[in-house]
A = this chain, B = another copy of it.
Amino acid sequence: MKNQPNCSWMSPILDRLEELHRELAGATEGDVATYIPELAKADPRWFGICLVTANGAVYETGDSRQPFTIQSISKPFVYGLALEDRGRSEVLAKIGVEPTGDAFNSISLDPRTGRPRNPMINAGAIAATGLIEGKTSQIRLKRMLAMFELYAGRELLVDDAVYQSESETGHRNRAIGHMLRNFGILTDDPIPVVETYFRQCAVSVTCHDLAVMAATLANRGTNPITGEQAIRGEYVESVLAVMGTCGMYDYAGEWLYNVGMPAKSGVSGGVIAVLPGQLGIGVFSPPLDPQGNSVRGIGVCNALSRHWDLHLFNRSSVGNTAIRLKSTAAEFNSKRVRSALETNVLRTSGACISLYQLQGNLTFATAEVVVRNLGENADAIESLILDFKRVMTANESACRLFHDVVCKFAAVGRAVVFTHLDSITPFKRYMKGRLGSRFEELFQVFDDNDAALEWCEDRLLARILPGLPGGEAVGPREYELFSGLPPGDVETIVALLDRRTYQAGETIINAGDEANELFLLASGSVSVILTLASGRPRRLATFSAGMSFGEMAIIDRAPRSAMIIADSPVVCDRLPLEAFAALDVTHPGIKIKLLDNVSRGLSRKLRKANRELAVFE
């Protein structure tokens, strides 16, 4: 049954869209727009619904691939391009953002300044088109089409028949163009701008395109299917704000009250609705209500908003979601295998090393909880590890709060260490900008928690056990495996050992090797490495001089399960399997002692593993 890529039988979401399509397909209210002859040719039965999530899942039904011209739905996107080209303040100087109670084709200019009330009425939209950068009309049109294509994720064309029809009948819009020129809102010949506006309205799209474009706005400007950025994230809020207050003509208040999503409709029967961070909806059905909005389009948006609780203002608290897990080095440790004494120090004093696993989107509200929690626990924290592995985004506000935490912790002599920052690039950039010359000193980063924990543990152990030797070569009497054996017995077993040296980086054991010996580490350190499915290596353990390794495969009579590599120049004493087995008969007392020590070692590791598992469960 596996590997059937299409499991659409499982989607209750598509089920619901199809059901809604059947329910509304029979509606007969509304009339197809006739003010342009080409639009009047639309079939009133055409009806498509498409929903695209902000992470790119597509649900569509009905005539979702029927082409039609975008008309007024082009307005918010062109407004966004104007914002990118000119910046917010220049655009605001030319086009207001206040809703008007007037109809879609009203002229609505400020009587004093000539500034159109908002960019969703024709006057404001034409003004926005006039703000697009480009030396010639051709260049401006090309840039505009390229922008639409980034939103839709495919090549788009202007429907010439509709454009001609618009141009032949567009006297009112030409009048608006001249009024805008009169007030200096347009600064050049208004006619080419109005013609570009006609072409902009005649871009041919489908209901599927509209939903992808809406989802791109929901995804802060990045097309969730192609991954391409259609508009800089910082301008998305402005585009959505004008859609929110002015997108549905004189129906805006009721729309925000009932549907609760910024939206835009067009006379060809299209509607888009955007739920920021979540999804975009596209509906296409030509019959319009008296306000000029698609009857079925409004019906679909209303029904989906109710059915799936999509209202923008219907939100539960997000705050407590950012801290995935908290642990300390008293319960969870690095993979470096510690001596019994060191293990004991970590268990009793490791609570001052705190690990916070963070997750999701870090914004003010989610980061606030983390920062507050850190503040409340700051007195007990000596070293802090902030794990960003499951953080998806961190906005500037979150960066700012973490910057402040780093500085405040540094000021009282505590270390803050970050891990898994690779995918959160703006974070590092922000820190660099703010910390300046103190960046290298204060911004500590490790690849993973294991490395960060080891660094923090080493600091703590160096403080609590300052005189303790470490890293030196040991003689056979100091091998943990021989602990409790009388000197004579040590001599007996040393005679069975076979000494080997390895270069740093050399492979001592390969996964899959037959297990023929047990290793005693005389000097240097070795690590057990598992290669993950992703190809990335994962450290399972690191042993230092005096410890033994490779005993589990001996006990299990199984092939080696992981690779062991010399971290440094290494000297090992190897106890061959046959010699170990022969002890049963020749020196049972020694064998019992060795097995006792092996069992105790396993028991200690098992207790550590169980303690660490308890952190996660």
**Residues on A facing B (Cβ under 8 Å):** 1-5, 7-13, 15, 53-55, 57, 96-101, 118, 218-220, 224, 233-234, 236-238, 240-242, 244-246, 250, 252-254, 256-257, 260, 262, 275-279, 307-321, 324, 359-361, 363-365, 368-369, 371-372, 374-376, 378-380, 392-393, 395-397, 400-401, 404-405, 408, 449, 538, 540, 552, 555-556, 561, 584, 588-589, 591-592, 595-596, 598-600, 602-607, 609-610, 612-614, 616-617
Question: Given B220, B237, B253, which contacts A96 in the complex, CB threshold below 8 Å?
Answer: B253
Asked whether A9 lies within 8 Å of B97 as measured between CB atoms, the reply is no
| Listed A/B pairs (26) with beta-carbon separation below 8 Å | A10-B375, A11-B375, A13-B372, A53-B368, A55-B319, A98-B250, A220-B316, A234-B314, A241-B311, A244-B256, A245-B253, A277-B318, A278-B363, A278-B364, A309-B363, A314-B395, A317-B392, A318-B360, A321-B361, A540-B610, A555-B600, A561-B607, A592-B592, A595-B599, A602-B603, A613-B613
Minimal Cβ-Cβ distance residue in B for A57: B372
> Contacts A99-B253, A276-B314, A589-B584 known; A54 to B365 CB distance under 8 Å?
yes
Asked whether A98 lies within 8 Å of B254 as measured between CB atoms, the reply is yes
Minimal Cβ-Cβ distance residue in B for A407: B12
Question: Given B7, B97, B617, which contacts A257 in the complex, CB threshold below 8 Å?
Answer: B97
> Contacts A11-B375, A253-B245, A600-B555 known; A365 to B592 CB distance under 8 Å?
no
Question: Given B118, B312, B361, B603, which contacts A276 in the complex, CB threshold below 8 Å?
Answer: B312
Minimal Cβ-Cβ distance residue in B for A379: B1
> Contacts A324-B324, A592-B591, A606-B606 known; A260 to B276 CB distance under 8 Å?
no
Minimal Cβ-Cβ distance residue in B for A324: B324
Chain B residues closer than 8 Å to A400, beta-carbon distance: 12, 307-308
Instruction: Determine how close the nearest CB of chain B comes to the CB of A405; give it in whole angstroms.
Output: 7
> Contacts A54-B317, A97-B257 known; A4 to B379 CB distance under 8 Å?
yes
Asked whether B220 lies within 8 Å of A392 as measured between CB atoms, the reply is no
CA distance A393 to B309 in the complex (A): 13
